[in-house]
Amino acid sequence: MKTWFERAERTVSQCGMLLLAALLLFSSTVLGQAQVPEPTSVHPFKMHVPNQVLIDLRHRLAETKWPDQLPGTTWEYGADIKKVRELADYWQNGYDWRAQEAKINRFDQFTTEIDGQQIYFIHQRSPRPDAIPLMLIHGWPGSIVEFLALIEPLTNPTDSRIPAFDVIIPSLPGFGFSGPTTTRGWGPQRMAKALIVLMDRLGYSRYGIQGGDWGSLIARDMAYQAPAHVIGLHLNLLYVDPPNPEAVAQMSDVERKRFSYFDRPESSFFFLQAAEPQTLSYALTDSPVGWLAWMIGKFQLLTDNNGDFLTAVDRDTFLTDVTLYWVTGTVGSAMRIYRENRLTAEEMAPTPRLETPIAYADFPKEVAVPPFRWVTQTYNVVQKTEMPKGGHFAALEQPDLLLDDIRKFFAKVDQKQAEIAP
């Protein structure tokens, strides 16, 4: 892997060093600019979105030009205007970003530069000396917000017999305060490389990973790239292609239904974002209601709900996820992962069997679920849990079920050689 962040050593005279220091001090004082930090440094961070950004958001919401909707329809043609109007009104007049910002700022946050890209992350250490380093990786349209409810019970369990964790939650490159990206190629494999560097920079040589959606694929790539460092993967999505044509014909009706997501109309957003995310981003970056409606459609489709996705996820938490993309200007940047994955997937060699221990949490309303016998041909699944409820956003929908499954898995993973950072 290229060491993008390493600098060539130089030999300079003492006089030259003093002159350089004086010039840097002059430029930072006169121009009001901080000195350029070392690329490998890690900096404390607190969220604070400028007031003007929030004022502009409310103004745009107030000035929305609304479309029509056919009488008597709800979700048949896309996001229901009744639900979008309801949430747009609350976003403008009731939702409190500052309160949500304060909740996030209770946790330890940092930024660092890896591969020329700023990476933002939460790094919450446990008070327990035996804590297991655990990275939690989100996907799209998720964010760090998915995992906030898990941080305290993971880092500081009330029962000393329950495993404790040092929790690391990065925003993926191009998402939130890790974006936007400024170069091509930020697909899952490159993101995996960056997150391996991050864990090394934090002093963790052995660690576990939890992921869903794109986070599942990135976690898998991290295990392929750094098998000596990843002690186990806990995944709530584990997709594999059919091993052969005969395997497709042998599927049961139930298996076929769970696997057929990408053949159904509701998966159209995946192919649109993989084909032309730039075109889509013009509308979604300019209109907060457009972005809100796009997100509402996905959460309505992908959660285990009774007809209203807000029965599966908390309203303020959902809007915090929506707002985080908006205020960081990463609506378009985040969608590029779909295009980058398509471009790089064509160059990838077939994946060999991965021997890293894997726990698979199978939530009943997850999308694109392959038959488990296909999964075991490629992955070393040592724990499989069929969850009683929940959908694609496991950490948001069923945090308690996910938490218990994570603890159960990592309690079984061999920790004898785990090196915990001081």
| pLDDT tens by residue, the chain, 422 residues | 333 333 333 333 333 433 333 333 333 333 344 445 556 799 999 999 999 999 999 999 999 999 999 999 999 999 999 999 999 999 999 999 999 999 999 999 999 999 999 999 999 999 999 999 999 999 999 999 999 999 999 999 999 999 999 999 999 999 999 999 999 999 999 999 999 999 999 999 999 999 999 999 999 999 999 999 999 999 999 999 999 989 999 999 999 999 999 989 989 999 999 999 999 999 999 999 999 999 999 999 999 999 999 999 999 999 999 999 999 999 999 999 999 999 987 566 667 899 999 999 999 999 999 999 999 999 999 999 999 999 999 999 999 999 999 999 999 986 544 443 32
Structure tokens at 36: 């350029």
Q: Which helix (H) or strand (E) holds 382?
A: strand 379-386
- How far CA 149 is from CA of 20, 155, 394, in Å, comes to 47, 11, 12
Q: Which residue has the tokens 């993101």?
A: 191
Dist. CA 392–CA 286, nearest whole Å: 27
Query: In terms of DSSP bridges, do strands 379-386 and 354-362 run parallel, antiparallel, or are they unpaired?
Result: parallel
Alpha carbon 284 to its chain centroid, in Å, reads 19
Inter-residue contact 277 to 332 (CB < 8 Å): yes
- Can you give the pLDDT at residue 417? 43
Dist. CA 279–CA 286, nearest whole Å: 12
- Can you give the pLDDT at residue 19? 36
- Can you give the pLDDT at residue 131? 97
- Neighbouring-strand partners of residue 234: 210, 359
Dist. CA 235–CA 378, nearest whole Å: 14
Of 359, 374, 367, the closest CA to residue 390 belongs to: 367
Dist. CA 213–CA 218, nearest whole Å: 9
- Can you give the pLDDT at residue 40? 78
Q: Which helix (H) or strand (E) holds 42?
A: strand 42-45
Inter-residue contact 305 to 133 (CB < 8 Å): no
Inter-residue contact 153 to 163 (CB < 8 Å): no
Inter-residue contact 122 to 109 (CB < 8 Å): yes
355 SS3 class: strand
Dist. CA 83–CA 85, nearest whole Å: 6
Dist. CA 362–CA 411, nearest whole Å: 19
DSSP of 192-247, one letter per residue? Answer: HHHHHHHHHHTT-SSEEEEE-THHHHHHHHHHHH-TTTEEEEEES------SSHHH
Domains and CATH numbers, the chain: 97-412 (3.40.50.1820)
Most distant CA pair in the chain, distance: 80
Inter-residue contact 288 to 95 (CB < 8 Å): no
DSSP of 109-175, one letter per residue? Answer: EEEEEETTEEEEEEEE--S-TTPEEEEEE--SS--GGGGHHHHHHHHS-SSTTS--EEEEEEPPTTS
- Can you give the pLDDT at residue 2? 35
Q: Which residue has the tokens 């909707």?
A: 69
100 SS3 class: helix
